[in-house]
């Protein structure tokens, strides 16, 4: 092996060769300088072609292997970063969704509790007040409405009144000629009122008690019953 070829092989083995035929750079200071004319700077720039053919393949293989390793490391780092970012994003979205679900559940529970309390209070009020009015032979609309105001929670009265207005115009003797529906709430059959009291035909307070209980048990409150009535024109 010639002197220049040995030096070129040593230098090429220590540095990366990026393509076949590329110049193999010599690291600064890797070869000691002396006064020998044969070691002039021009001789330090060694071409791949200066390396014996049998050893060129080894140098090229080592260089390509180094490049492949560097690319693999870079790809792994990029993939790891992307995976970590995706995991953080997914965790944030999951946390937001859980928070929203918890808030919805809390709101639903609050509303359910309020409805239950309202229903219980209305039922107690109706049971207590329906029998506290003096019995009369007849009742005016204003008297019937006054009864209802005392039996129906104040926040629900307008909804309650809207339904009675449309069903019977506050006539506790109102009869539907076609179906036979009767009274303030047009109960069908009319005998349903009996669950609130045996005097349902002559006492509007008994009918009011029945109507309030019906709205609470079927819809949750008079206002929810009125919402249904508004959409369907029956309840």
pTM reported for the whole predicted model: 0.48
Does residue 77 surpass a pLDDT of 50?
A: yes
More confident residue, 174 or 91: 174
Which residue ranges form the domains of the chain, and what is each CATH number?
Answer: 3-71 (no CATH), 130-232 (1.10.530)
User: Residue 222 has what pLDDT?
Assistant: 97
Please give the Cα distance from 125 to 151 (Å, whole number). Answer: 6
Residue 58: which pLDDT band, with cuts at 50, 70 and 90?
confident
pLDDT of 112-157, one tens digit each?
888 777 766 655 555 455 667 888 889 999 999 999 999 999 999 9
Q: Report long-range pairs for 4-10 (Cβ below 8 Å, ≥24 apart).
A: 4/43, 4/46, 4/50, 5/50, 5/51, 5/52, 7/31, 7/43, 7/44, 7/46, 8/46, 8/47, 8/48, 8/50, 8/51, 9/51, 9/52, 9/55, 9/59
């Amino acid at each position: 092996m010639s002197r220049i070829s040995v030096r070129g092989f040593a230098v090429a083995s220590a540095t990366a060769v990026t393509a076949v035929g590329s110049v193999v750079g010599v690291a600064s200071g890797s070869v000691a300088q002396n006064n020998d004319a044969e070691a002039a700077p021009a001789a330090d720039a060694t071409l791949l072609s200066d390396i014996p053919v049998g050893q060129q393949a080894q140098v090229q293989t080592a260089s390509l292997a180094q490049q492949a390793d560097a690319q693999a490391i870079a790809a792994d780092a990029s993939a790891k970063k992307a995976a970590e970012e995706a995991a953080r994003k997914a965790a944030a979205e999951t946390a937001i969704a859980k928070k929203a679900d918890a808030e919805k559940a809390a709101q639903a529970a609050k509303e359910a509790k309020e409805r239950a309390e309202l229903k219980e209070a209305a039922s107690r009020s109706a049971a207590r007040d329906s029998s506290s009015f003096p019995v009369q032979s007849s009742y005016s609309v204003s008297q019937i409405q006054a009864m209802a105001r005392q039996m129906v929670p104040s926040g629900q009265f307008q909804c309650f009144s809207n339904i009675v207005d449309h069903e019977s115009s506050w006539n506790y003797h109102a009869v539907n000629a076609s179906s036979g529906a009767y009274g303030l709430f047009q109960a069908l059959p009319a005998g349903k009122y009996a669950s609130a009291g045996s005097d349902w035909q002559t006492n509007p307070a008994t009918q009011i008690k029945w109507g309030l209980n019906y709205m609470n048990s079927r819809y949750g409150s008079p206002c929810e019953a009125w919402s249904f009535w508004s959409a369907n024109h029956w309840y």
